[in-house]
Homo-oligomer: A and B are copies of this chain.
Amino acid sequence: MPSLTYKEAGVSIAANTRWVDAIRACMTATYDPRVMNRHNAFAGLYRLDYDEQLFRRNYRKPVLVACADGVGTKVLLALQLGKLSTLGIDLVAMNVNDLITCGAEPLFFLDYLAVHELSPPRLLTLIEGVAEGCRQAGCALLGGETAEMPDVYRRGDIDLAGFAVGVVEFDRVIDGRRIEVGDVLIGLPSSGVHSNGYTLVRKLIEKSRCDLSAPLEGGTGTIGEALLAPTRIYVRAVSAVLEAFGRRRVVSAMAHITGGGLRENIARLLPGKVNAVISRRAWRPPPVFDFLRRLGVARGEMFKVFNMGIGYVFVVRPRNAQGVLRALRGVGEDPIILGRIVTGNGRVVLEG
Contact = CB atoms under 8 A, between A and B. Distances in A.
Interface of A: 1-6, 8-11, 13, 36, 38, 40-49, 60-70, 72-73, 75-76, 98-99, 101-102, 104, 107-108, 110-112, 114, 142-145, 147, 149-153, 157, 159, 161, 163, 165-168, 170, 173, 175, 197, 199-200, 202-204, 207-208, 255-256, 259-260, 264, 268-269, 295-299, 301, 304-305
A110 B49 contact: no
A149 B61 contact: no
B207 A301 contact: no
B73 A42 contact: no
Contacts of A259: 13
Nearest to A208: B1
A263 B72 CA distance: 37
Given A68-B144, A76-B152, A301 B5 contact: yes
Nearest to A163: B163
B4 A151 contact: no
A163 to B, nearest CB: 4
Contacts of A107: 64
Contacts of A65: 43-46
Nearest to A94: B145
B45 A63 contact: yes
